[in-house]
């Protein structure tokens, strides 16, 4: 956040810089919440065109207007590849949007959210119920704690683990490491899948490569899929997909998507398959780590 | 362009606003060219992170760093669907990037570029040879003139017409009308295809709908495909695809892409197919006009 949100005054814009040469700006109406936790600065703003917006350390996490894209794509891809997802672990994602989409799957009877920063959860519960209200669902356990420690210690097994993290700076840095993913693998059931926020191919190709290298050292199958995040710089963003065997396109049954009766705003079986058709420059950068889809 | 480029002074940024509530900003090093033609303001800037950039009336048209995405996707989709593209008409696209990609197809023996504004062509020839140098190729005819008049009067037939236009404001407005597309249809050969810059689904869904309605009233088959434009607001942008019969996915032969030996940075047969898997909210908005792919 380049300009601090000003509670009073003329036209207010919030700015997110990327590599110090590119920036996105959003016009804001009002600061709804602004706090500093032990981990990061947390802001919730009312924007002019994107509804309410959550920022961590000045980086846009979600906006009410387009969060459906991120949350549908991080959740429904693994949950429709896994034949019967029952237990799902979400690390990060304190805004609740990922949990909301997980709960739409009737097979799911337990969803554990491990968020390090209770200020994010509290701010979203109060100001962004669109994503956070699902956290009161009886199938959900909200744990405030360190996701790295959680996967190191838990005895519980999960069918799908979703790493809904910020960029690999600040509190999320250890989430991008090999120890963390080794422990994630241990918590997965035999057909387990882990999906992670996978950064920008265009602006952070090296980070993508580092993350895929770690995953490829641990998992039988590693892939990456794209979606367009309308409020992240450049728009072209990715999720990584790693599994103990399941293939992200081959093992998708489009009929199951149809039969679910779920009404999506972004996701479809076609979109799911199309998302794994990654642009040539990404394939060149990452080919050594990518499994067949 | 909210801030005028300043030839001297401190840190300089160029800003493009979208709907007055969202903006993208690029850090610039230098103004290379700035002029006002009878049609629009034309600027070429040296940016900090995106190479050289062309702006028309303050809107980012291309940057050297990411123009490959736009140009590969506007060209190779129709040219690999058409079984033997020989004559191609490009309307707009005075920067030359579209023509450059057209010329990579060995079947093409004639490419006509009709650009209304010679200032764009001249500025790009001088300052953006990455896209404009191909305009000297003997297969290319550069015509400075009105694309609307050109298609109304020409007796020539084309296998593919590419409408490489700016947004439907300023000089490009008539390019979005039914009379124009009726004349485009007349210039097409039996297996002809017309592809057009198709705007943002997220920020300009109504414009997309209006354009598809016009196309659907004229052409046997109408579709839309997506790509991520890293320097356009929101990133999710589209091209329309209309044809006298050819289908954009069904009629693609992936082997032909392979055999072409062309080395792409964005395009591939998989990316081509994936691009037609449009998000659910777009399908809901446009379903009545869309043909099977």
Phi-psi region of B239 (alpha: psi -120 to 50; beta: other; left: phi over 0): beta
pLDDT tops 60 at residue B288:
yes
Helices and strands of chain B, counted as H and E runs: 10, 12
Average pLDDT rounded to a whole number, residues B231-235: 89
Are B277 and A267 an interchain contact pair (Cβ–Cβ within 8 Å)?
A: no
Contacts of A73 in chain B (CB under 8 A): none
pLDDT tops 50 at residue B121:
yes
pLDDT at B2: 41
Asked if A67 and A97 touch (Cβ cutoff 8 Å), the reply is yes
pLDDT at B8: 45
Percentage of residues of chain A with pLDDT beyond 90 = 87
The two three-digit tokens of residue A112, written as one number: 């554990």
Name the DSSP class of B172. G
Given the structure tokens 């081959």, which residue do they identify?
A250
Name the DSSP class of A46. E
pLDDT at A8: 45
- By mean pLDDT, which of A2-6, A144-148, B196-200 is the weakest? A2-6
pLDDT at A233: 86
Q: How far is residue B222's CA from residue B181's CA, in Å, rounded to a whole number?
A: 13
Contacts of B23 in chain A (CB under 8 A): 13, 24-26
Asked if B120 and B179 touch (Cβ cutoff 8 Å), the reply is no
Asked if B22 and A25 touch (Cβ cutoff 8 Å), the reply is yes
B67-92 pLDDT tens trace:
999 999 999 999 999 999 999 999 99
A121-130 pLDDT tens trace:
999 999 999 9
Chain Cα centroid distance, residue B80: 16
Contacts of A69 in chain B (CB under 8 A): 279
The two three-digit tokens of residue A246, written as one number: 């399941």
Smallest Cβ–Cβ distance between B277 and the set A26, A47, A274 belongs to A274
Nearest to A46 by CA among A62, A26, A65, A32: A32
List residues of chain B with CB under 8 Å from any CB of chain A: 13, 15, 19-27, 47-50, 66, 68-69, 202, 226, 228-232, 234-236, 264-268, 270-271, 273-281, 283
Instruction: Return mean pLDDT, chain A.
Output: 94
C-alpha distance from residue B144 to each of B33, B94, B117, B259 (Å): 20, 9, 7, 35
Name the DSSP class of B73. H
Handedness of CA B255, B258, B260, B266 (dihedral sign): positive
Q: How far is residue A113's CA from residue A131's CA, in Å, rounded to a whole number?
A: 13
Surface-to-core class of residue B104, CB atoms within 10 Å of its CB (0-12 exposed, 13-18 middle, 19+ buried): middle
pLDDT at A11: 87
Phi-psi region of A115 (alpha: psi -120 to 50; beta: other; left: phi over 0): beta
Buried b / exposed e across B129-152, counting CB within 10 Å, b at 16+?
Answer: ebbbebbeeeebebeeebbbebbe
The interface predicted TM-score (ipTM) is 0.93
pLDDT at A1: 39
pLDDT-derived band at A2, boundaries 50, 70, 90: very low
Chain Cα centroid distance, residue A270: 21
A34-64 pLDDT tens trace:
999 999 999 999 999 999 999 999 999 999 9
Nearest to A119 by CA among A39, A16, A173, A57: A39
pTM: 0.94
Strands A52-56 and A22-36: unpaired
pLDDT at A57: 93
- Residue that wins the pLDDT comparison between A106 and A167: A106
B19 to chain A: closest CA residue: A49
pLDDT tops 80 at residue A98:
yes
A100-137 pLDDT tens trace:
999 999 999 999 999 999 999 999 999 999 999 999 99
Distance, in angstroms, between A63 CA and closest chain B CA?
A: 12
Distance, in angstroms, between B250 CA and closest chain A CA?
A: 15
- By mean pLDDT, which of A276-285, B3-12, B45-54, B194-203 is the weakest? B3-12
- By mean pLDDT, which of B10-14, B31-35, B226-230, B284-288 is the weakest? B10-14
pLDDT at B175: 80
- By mean pLDDT, which of A172-181, A198-207, B157-166 is the weakest? A172-181
Contacts of A53 in chain B (CB under 8 A): none
pLDDT at B169: 67
Name the DSSP class of B169. S
pLDDT at B166: 79
Q: Which of A43, A95, A159, A164 is catalytic?
A: A164
Asked if A47 and A56 touch (Cβ cutoff 8 Å), the reply is no
Among all residues of B, which ones are annotated catalytic?
164
Percentage of residues of chain B with pLDDT beyond 90 = 87
Smallest Cβ–Cβ distance between A265 and the set B264, B275, B280 belongs to B280
B31-57 pLDDT tens trace:
999 999 999 999 999 999 999 999 999
Nearest to A239 by CA among A72, A59, A22: A72
Q: How far is residue A53's CA from residue A47's CA, in Å, rounded to a whole number?
A: 7
pLDDT at A18: 85
Where helices occur in chain B by DSSP H, the ranges are 67-81, 97-103, 118-127, 129-132, 147-153, 178-187, 205-216, 254-260, 269-275, 280-286
pLDDT-derived band at A177, boundaries 50, 70, 90: confident
pLDDT tops 50 at residue A16:
yes
pLDDT tops 80 at residue A10:
no
pLDDT tops 60 at residue B1:
no
User: Residue A184's CB: how many other CB atoms inside 10 A?
Assistant: 26
A65-79 pLDDT tens trace:
999 999 999 999 999
- By mean pLDDT, which of A173-177, B42-46, B127-131, B171-175 is the weakest? B171-175
pLDDT at A169: 67
Q: How far is residue A195's CA from residue A239's CA, in Å, rounded to a whole number?
A: 6
Asked if A193 and A183 touch (Cβ cutoff 8 Å), the reply is no
């Amino acid at each position: 956040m380049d300009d601090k949100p000003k509670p009073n005054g003329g036209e207010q814009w919030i700015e997110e810089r990327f590599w110090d040469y590119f920036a996105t700006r959003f016009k804001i109406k009002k600061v709804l919440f602004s706090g500093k936790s032990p981990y990061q600065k947390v802001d919730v703003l009312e924007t002019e065109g994107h509804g309410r917006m959550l920022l961590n350390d000045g980086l846009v996490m979600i906006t009410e207007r387009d969060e459906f894209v991120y949350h549908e794509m991080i959740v429904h891809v693994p949950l429709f590849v896994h034949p019967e997802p029952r237990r799902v672990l979400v690390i990060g994602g304190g805004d609740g949007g990922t949990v909301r989409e997980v709960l739409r799957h009737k097979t799911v009877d337990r969803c554990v959210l491990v968020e390090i920063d209770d200020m994010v959860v509290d701010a979203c519960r109060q100001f962004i119920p669109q994503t956070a209200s699902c956290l009161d669902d009886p199938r959900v356990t909200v744990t405030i704690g360190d996701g790295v420690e959680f996967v190191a210690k838990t005895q519980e097994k999960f069918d799908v683990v979703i790493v809904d993290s910020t960029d690999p700076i600040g509190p999320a840095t250890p989430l991008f490491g090999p120890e963390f993913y080794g422990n994630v693998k241990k918590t997965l059931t035999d057909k387990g899948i882990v999906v992670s926020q996978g950064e920008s191919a265009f602006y952070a190709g090296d980070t993508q490569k580092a993350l895929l290298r770690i995953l490829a050292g641990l998992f039988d199958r590693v892939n990456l899929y794209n979606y367009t995040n309308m409020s992240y710089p450049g728009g072209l963003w990715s999720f990584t997909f790693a599994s103990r065997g399941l293939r992200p396109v081959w093992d998708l049954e489009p009929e199951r998507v149809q039969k679910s009766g779920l009404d999506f705003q972004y996701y479809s079986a076609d979109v799911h398959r199309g998302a794994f058709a990654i642009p040539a420059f990404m394939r060149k950068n990452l080919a050594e780590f990518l499994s067949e889809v």
